[in-house]
């Protein structure tokens, strides 16, 4: 599943010399890459993601403000500032978990770049749900002729999580009710879709309205419950088309529960959940060919496009755990 590909365009109208530019946001339809990205092959290093915070009050007048990548739990805010002929593009994070974005600035009219115009940027977390993390500078541009308007486009993709996080040893609870038994439709390295960013995901053959429980304790940092319908076409790769819950664990990794039933969530962003707590009902939303429950242990890749997917084990007895095996039936004992 591909998260968070957005296309954002700001259009600034022609203005008279000496007058402040008036901006008109123009938002294009999202675009999607149907091919899975390989988290193990992410380009760049963590140094590429380290950027100091910036104070917007030093950047002049705000030209544009756009909120995107928005779900229960937060959003990203993109602001454009202008001081004289210098333009500065900044971003901040309102989620309780870091976000990494891959961004590119394109489609120039009366502006030129004075810094790199593409990159992968680590955006620190806010301290609470819908809080305000620090502003981070993406790029600076120069307006060529101050007497006329300017135009440029910014495209980005985003992933939740800190690329430096790695899982600690833990036996995860089976994500359904004690005594229930379900088989693994697709396990690690599954041929249908468990490659690259989804390499170590597991799909359980759960019918619609199966109770989904937390496999590990943590904090709900993002969720979505408004999606309806499913399919295997490109439009269902849109993250707005799938219902999900993301839980931040103490080791910084994320538990991802996907394809949930519409309006079925029992938790919301900011909730601290216990192991075994009810989260939602399973469903058949998003990029899916049959009702099932998708679970994965993950974090963001350093490129802002891919995810790092981690192997894990389910507890199948009081002192017994194993990696999920495709085709095997599992009964929750707790």
Query: pLDDT class for 5, splitting at 50, 70, 90?
Result: very low
Residue 196, pLDDT score: 60
Q: Average pLDDT of the chain?
A: 83
Residue 48, pLDDT score: 55
pLDDT tens-digit map of 98-117: 999 999 998 789 999 999 99
Residue 112, pLDDT score: 93
Nearest to 94 by CA among 122, 117, 128: 128
Could you write out the DSSP letters of every residue in 190-221?
A: -TTT-SGGGTT-EEE-PPTTPEEE-SS-EEEE
CB contact at 8 A, 273 and 247:
yes
| pTM of the entire predicted model | 0.85
Q: What is the average per-residue pLDDT within 273-283? A: 97
Quick count: other Cβ atoms within 10 Å of Cβ 126?
20
Residue 22, pLDDT score: 32
Q: Of the spans 178-187, 190-199, 244-253, which averages the highest pLDDT?
A: 244-253
Question: Facing residues of 160 across strands?
Answer: 99
Residue 167 makes CB contacts below 8 A (sequence gap 6+) with: 249, 251, 253, 297, 310, 312
Residue 42, pLDDT score: 35
Q: What is the average per-residue pLDDT within 232-253? A: 86
**CATH superfamily placement of domain 171-331:** Glucose Permease (Domain IIA) (2.70.70.10)
Three-state helix/strand/coil letters over 90-136: EEEECCCCCEEEEEEEEEEECEEECCCCEEEEEECCCCCCCCCCCCE
Query: pLDDT class for 278, splitting at 50, 70, 90?
Result: very high
Q: What is the average per-residue pLDDT within 169-182? A: 97
How far apart, in Å, do the first and last CA atoms of the chain sit?
29
Residue 30, pLDDT score: 26
Residue 99 makes CB contacts below 8 A (sequence gap 6+) with: 69, 76, 93, 123, 125, 158, 159, 160, 161, 300
Q: What is the residue extent of each domain of the chain? A: 5-160, 171-331
- Which of the residue ranges 4-18, 179-193, 194-208, 261-275 would you say has the lowest mean pLDDT? 4-18
Query: Vertex 194, ends 188 and 197: CA angle to 5°?
Result: 105
Residue 57: phi and psi, rounded to 5, are -70, -15
CB contact at 8 A, 200 and 311:
yes
Residue 118: phi and psi, rounded to 5, are -155, 160
Q: Quote the tokens at residue 328.
A: 């095997």
Nearest to 242 by CA among 75, 27, 3: 3
d(CA 20, CA 255): 47
Burial of residue 290, with CB atoms counted within 10 A of its CB: 0-12 exposed, 13-18 middle, 19 or more buried: exposed
Q: Of the spans 5-9, 85-89, 300-304, which averages the highest pLDDT?
A: 85-89
DSSP-derived pairing of the beta strands 230-231 and 286-287: parallel
DSSP classification of residue 283: B
d(CA 117, CA 86): 14
Residue 180: phi and psi, rounded to 5, are -80, 145
pLDDT tens-digit map of 37-76: 333 333 345 545 566 789 999 999 999 999 999 999 999 9
d(CA 58, CA 293): 48
Indicate whether 33 pLDDT > 60.
no
Task: State whether residue 89 is helix, strand or coil.
Answer: strand
Residue 107, pLDDT score: 76
Nearest to 91 by CA among 61, 68, 57: 68
Task: State whether residue 55 is helix, strand or coil.
Answer: coil
């Amino acid at each position: 599943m591909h998260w968070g590909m957005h296309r954002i365009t700001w259009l600034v109208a022609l203005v008279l010399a000496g007058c402040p530019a008036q901006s008109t946001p123009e938002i294009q339809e999202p675009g999607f890459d149907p091919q899975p990205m390989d988290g193990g092959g992410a380009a760049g290093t963590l140094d590429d993601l380290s950027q100091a915070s910036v104070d917007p009050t030093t950047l002049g007048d705000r030209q544009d403000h756009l909120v995107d990548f928005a779900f229960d739990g937060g959003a990203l805010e993109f602001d454009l500032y202008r001081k004289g002929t210098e333009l500065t593009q900044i971003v901040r994070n309102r989620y309780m978990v870091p976000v990494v974005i891959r961004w590119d600035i394109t489609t120039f009219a009366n502006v030129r770049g004075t810094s790199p115009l593409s990159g992968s940027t680590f955006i620190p977390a806010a301290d609470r749900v819908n809080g305000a993390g620090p502003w981070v500078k993406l790029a600076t541009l120069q307006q060529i002729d101050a007497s006329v308007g300017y135009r440029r486009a910014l495209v980005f993709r985003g992933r939740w999580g800190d690329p430096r996080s790695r899982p600690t040893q833990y036996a995860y609870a089976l994500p359904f009710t004690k005594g229930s038994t379900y088989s693994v439709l697709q396990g690690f390295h599954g041929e249908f879709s468990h490659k690259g960013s989804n390499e170590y995901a597991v799909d359980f053959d759960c019918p619609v309205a199966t109770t989904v429980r937390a496999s590990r304790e943590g904090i709900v940092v993002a969720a979505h419950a408004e999606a309806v319908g499913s399919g295997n076409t490109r439009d269902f790769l849109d993250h707005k088309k799938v219902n999900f819950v993301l839980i931040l664990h103490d080791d910084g990794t994320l538990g991802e529960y996907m394809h949930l039933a519409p309006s079925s969530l029992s938790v919301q962003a900011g909730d601290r959940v216990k192991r075994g707590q009810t989260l939602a009902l399973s469903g058949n939303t998003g990029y899916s060919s049959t009702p099932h429950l998708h679970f994965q242990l993950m974090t963001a890749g350093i490129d802002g496009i891919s995810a790092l997917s981690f192997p894990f084990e389910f507890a199948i007895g009081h002192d017994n755990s194993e990696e999920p095996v495709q085709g095997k039936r599992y009964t929750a004992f707790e």
